[in-house]
Amino acid sequence: MRLGVLLLATTAACDPGSEFFEPAVFYVEGTFGYDAIADAAVAYVGDGGAVSPTVAITIASTEWFETYDDLDRCVVALRHLADTPLPRASWVAEAPDTWFGFDAPTDAEVTSDCAGWDPEVWGDDPATAVATWGWGLGIGALDDAVSDEVRDAVIASDGEATWDDEWQPAVFGGGFRWSGAADRFDGGFAPNGYAFGLYVDADFALVVQDDALLGIPATDVVDGAPPNGAYVIEQWFGIDAVLLAPTNL
């Protein structure tokens, strides 16, 4: 669920006559396990096996806001496949009300379905152009603007009881660190989304109770000391994709 666009520069208009995919907005989401003793991001185990710490950058064209067609967006995913934990990043100390965050390592596996971008702007491999930036994920206090918009959207879609009973008890803040945002956000961390947590067992496997995954109440996280768990970050506000161009590195 995401709707907004946070414009850090004027969003480039999409040329309807262009033969290329025209990036307009990007969102950053992801997931990671958190080891509270090591204070580090680690893999967790889901139904399909190990889930590595992953930062996923979704880039949408202007048309996507009208079609919501997957053909009008693509994803660059950075996965940390090594067994080594990813420690607390130094930028966390600079980002207000951020409880934990990590950086995707430079040797992360990069996968993408992005193609057909203008090579004069993005080079022959747009995924490499996007992945070259520094990326990370973090959790913390829920941004007021995100909270208000998510609440209104949930209530409009499913009713106030759904927000009160299901969403509000579970949701806290989520966002991403982007090296291109160092001059725009404290620590380069954009608190543009929301997050939720799932309990894991001693082997960092997701806990199932009554045939459902067991969620971590937000009250167990918001004291700034997240417990062991699997954390999922969903973005709400996007950022102008023009800023990702290699010329801005």
CA–CA gap between residue 133 and residue 135 (Å, rounded): 6
pLDDT at 248 over 90: no
Dig out the tokens for 127 from the structure: 């995924």
**pLDDT level of residue 182 (50, 70, 90 thresholds):** confident
Which H/E stretch holds residue 64?
A: helix 64-67
Exposed, middle or buried: residue 48 (CB in 10 Å: 0-12, 13-18, 19+)? exposed
Of residues 34 and 4, the one with the higher pLDDT is 34
pLDDT digits (tens, 9 = 90+) for 110-148: 999 999 999 999 999 999 999 999 999 999 999 999 999
Q: Give the CA distances from residue 88 to residues 53, 94, 188, 231, in Å, rounded to whole numbers and listed in that order.
A: 13, 12, 15, 15
**pLDDT level of residue 153 (50, 70, 90 thresholds):** very high
| CA proximity to 176, closest of 165, 164, 184 | 184
Enter the DSSP assignment of 97. T
Question: Is there a contact between 44 and 230 (Cβ–Cβ < 8 Å)?
Answer: yes
Task: Give 84-87 contacts, CB < 8 A, sequence gap 24+.
Answer: 85/35, 85/38, 85/40, 85/41, 85/42, 86/32, 86/40, 86/41, 86/42, 86/53, 87/38, 87/39, 87/40
**pLDDT level of residue 185 (50, 70, 90 thresholds):** very high
pLDDT score for 183: 84
pLDDT score for 10: 32
pLDDT score for 17: 54
User: Mean of the per-residue pLDDT values for the chain?
Assistant: 92
CA–CA gap between residue 228 and residue 202 (Å, rounded): 9
